[in-house]
Structure 1
């Protein structure tokens, strides 16, 4: 290749409604992309019968870097993945060059905890349609849902069989429970790397004020809001997602003398 590519790690949210591979061709033009399925996600191992916290996912990333002989990387996380990314940047600051956070807060709020419990309770019914109706519509903005209603209905038909699988529902329960103890409010000052925080104005899982709190408490941080967009901002506005990511991770300098 004509120029050395930066290493970028992309971790994502817990639902299978995450076709993250659609972004790889664009991102691979600029970076060597490391896409991570956490334990109990995607193609990674399943922790059947085990109780764990997000700490295991944090150490998984560091173990992967050691395996790949990488000292440091750019880290981008979305939702659950952004929570893990925050904990990673705090625990392994020397491994984190720049940090990008989509749609997350500094802790699992009582509001989000109750939403998570609704997913768990619905999952125990083993009814895929019920699980879809409980978990998926709230991820998208009302604007997107109405404008792309045909697409949403097609996704529903694809996902209901997946959400009817007891093994998958058990995975989602374990992942949801693993985030219950998430709280990095006391440690945000430890993050020293350049950090880019992205809000979605119609995010009803992690509202905008939660990213504002991150921006106020992370030293070298930058914060923007995407209008008329929900929690699944990377799918509602994929061009904006890739533009922000390639721009922030691709720019050579992070400070300028004006």
Structure 2
């Protein structure tokens, strides 16, 4: 008789920086009386991660995070991406090469905790991948043709072929007739920016040169594919809530968070 399966073990790191061209101080923006980063931290704790860290280069964020009991890792201000920042945390903490680390962006207060576990499980179940991520089906042409929505195409085994801001795959016959609606056979997916990495790969990623595709599309995950490594992509078990990029996003999310509280008081 075989033994019980090993429990899924993973860590979560939340990269958070103060500077933002559209919403300065974004991680500290208030939502229902608490800074946004606290809501994100709660989602990470609810995922069942064995450790949750907030990685920042700004003491204002660090101080706020410590006030609500978070573990904080102060990192360099020179990092070009959140992935590089997470790599510094992994190195500082001395995590083993096979440890799974989930990158939860600091502007995702409505990310379902189940998706963090799903991304970690995707990496755990696919040892040939160095990164795992999630995607969701696209249902409208407005979303498909929106350059702010990142699309992903995967192979039969679920490994990413390419990520793009362009509408991929291009349905030649259907779109030659109309781009007003998606064809019935449509299999278009948008990428959900949630990543699971092996800690050992984070160190290697930091040493890889940025690639031309990454610069053209402004998508750092293309660096992984360019250098010949594999990204496993699973269809998300549920849809995430919206992230925060602008002040309007913040107002919308604050209303969503406050709604259940208001309903409880009626």
TM-score by length of 2: 0.30
- Between structure 1 and structure 2, the one with the greater Rg is 2
| Larger fraction in helix | 1
Question: Normalized per residue, which structure has more strand?
Answer: 2
Relative to the length of structure 1, the TM-score reads 0.31
